Structure 1
Amino acid sequence: MIRPGLCSVTFRGLDIEDVVALADHAGLACIEWAGDAHVPPGDAVAAARARELTESAGLSVASYGSYLRFEGADDENRTEGDAVIASARMLGAPRIRVWAGSRGSAEVAEPHRARLVGRVQDFADRAAEHGLEVGLEFHGGTLTDEIGSTLRLLEEVGRGTVLSYWQPHQDMPAADAVGTLREVFTVLAAEGSDRDALLEFIPGDDPALLSREAQTLRSLIAAGEDAAR
């Protein structure tokens, strides 16, 4: 089953209660709560409130959208990671979104890549102690900026609890992006695993458009299921 959901960062300026109300009204099933907006790492009060309001509306917490990049000094990186794990646990999130560094794969020397791999492994092991998966953001300016480097990174990390998010590249023409999305939903429907498909940003950041965008997402999911039959 593919659940349609929302990344709360889409409405970073709105209150947690308003984000939940919008997602519920749009008929979405789950929310990824943003670590740079609604649920800062280590903020137990915000995490508890987001979880309570989400579940009270009959929705699920899809994930914790952290901005952990595994950079900086070892102690600082580990401290930030601990705060991220604590917030994810308080949210009741099944997974944590993280970023594979701050530079594109072609720009990263092997020693730095190895250090990032080691930090991802350490973080994933600590998260796994609490039943948490780790999802790598698929994004430019990181080690997951293209498919080859992403697959290599997953192999280097070597943890079954570490997977990757996916989205069309940020500079992809709209028609190509939609076509690629249709292909992806067909593949996912045929594969059959439970997944979350999350809306992140909408035209003009206009809350009034969320219901329309949610319906488009549900249509893409349904079309993929039909094509996979």
Structure 2
Amino acid sequence: AYLDTAVKLGAPCVRIWAGRTASAQADDDFFQRAVAETRRCCELAAKVGIDVAFEYHRKSLTDNGASAVKLLKAVNRSHCKTYWQPNPELTVEENSRELEAILPWLTRVHVFSWLPDNTRLPLAAQEAAWKHWLTFIPREIPLILEFVKEDQPEQFRQDMVALQKWLSHSVCL
């Protein structure tokens, strides 16, 4: 049903979760089941020309670069990709290393500004970090703006203006 819907919508990619267990707590059996299930998803998606991409998220098998790469390599399907988003609990440098690790599989990026306690900020509050990360992200990778402060439409517009400004200047970086 998900793939039928994706085909009808013309979606090029279906996002999936790599479980709800942190990579540090996942045993080998859990990992192997995730690999098998992802391969099955990939086989079904390939038949209709759609990629499968993991959500890159805390408390999953894609909660860090090393674990995400391990999973992506184990699945070993060309149309199995991953999203990326910064982990607000990590430093800019640590997030940069995470991003660099998964770059060969990167398909989408979630753009937002959070504190470690998940408090939402205006995107401009993390301008230096995002300008840095944008130097790693290939221009053809779609950026998805989400989780704006207080879910306010005006904040979304301000965040979009900031992101567009950074992107227009990034060609000069």
Q: Do the structures match in fold with TM over 0.5?
A: yes
Residue 177 to residue 215, structure 1, CA distance change in 2 (3 Å): closer
Of the candidates 131, 134, 156, which is equivalent to residue 185 of structure 1? 134
Per the alignment, in what secondary structure is the counterpart of residue 96 of structure 1? strand
TM-score (normalizing by structure 1): 0.57
Name stretches of at least 5 consecutive residues in structure 2 with no aligned partner. 91-114, 116-120
Of the candidates 87, 91, 108, which is equivalent to residue 9 of structure 2? 91
In structure 2, the residue matched to 1:225 is 171
In structure 2, the residue matched to 1:130 is 48
Residue 116 to residue 85, structure 1, CA distance change in 2 (3 Å): same
Residue 177 to residue 106, structure 1, CA distance change in 2 (3 Å): farther
Name stretches of at least 5 consecutive residues in structure 1 with no aligned partner. 1-82
In structure 2, the residue matched to 1:151 is 69
Q: Which of these two proteins has the greater Rg computed from alpha carbons?
A: 1
Q: Give 1:1-229 correspondences, 5 Å limit.
A: 83-172=1-90, 173=115, 178-189=127-138, 194-227=140-173
Q: CA deviation at 1:220?
A: 2.6
Please give the per-residue CA displacement for 1:61-118, whole angstroms capped at 9, x wherever unaligned: xxxxxxxxxxxxxxxxxxxxxx221221121111111110011001110011101111
Please give the per-residue CA displacement for 1:2-28, whole angstroms capped at 9, x wherever unaligned: xxxxxxxxxxxxxxxxxxxxxxxxxxx
Higher relative contact order at CA 8 Å, sep ≥6: structure 1 or structure 2?
1
Contact 1:140-1:169 at 8 Å conserved across structures: yes
Residue 143 to residue 178, structure 1, CA distance change in 2 (3 Å): farther
Residue 149 to residue 126, structure 1, CA distance change in 2 (3 Å): same
TM-score (normalizing by structure 2): 0.75
Aligned residues: 142
Per the alignment, in what secondary structure is the counterpart of residue 171 of structure 2? helix
Per the alignment, in what secondary structure is the counterpart of residue 134 of structure 1? strand
Q: CA RMSD in A?
A: 2.0
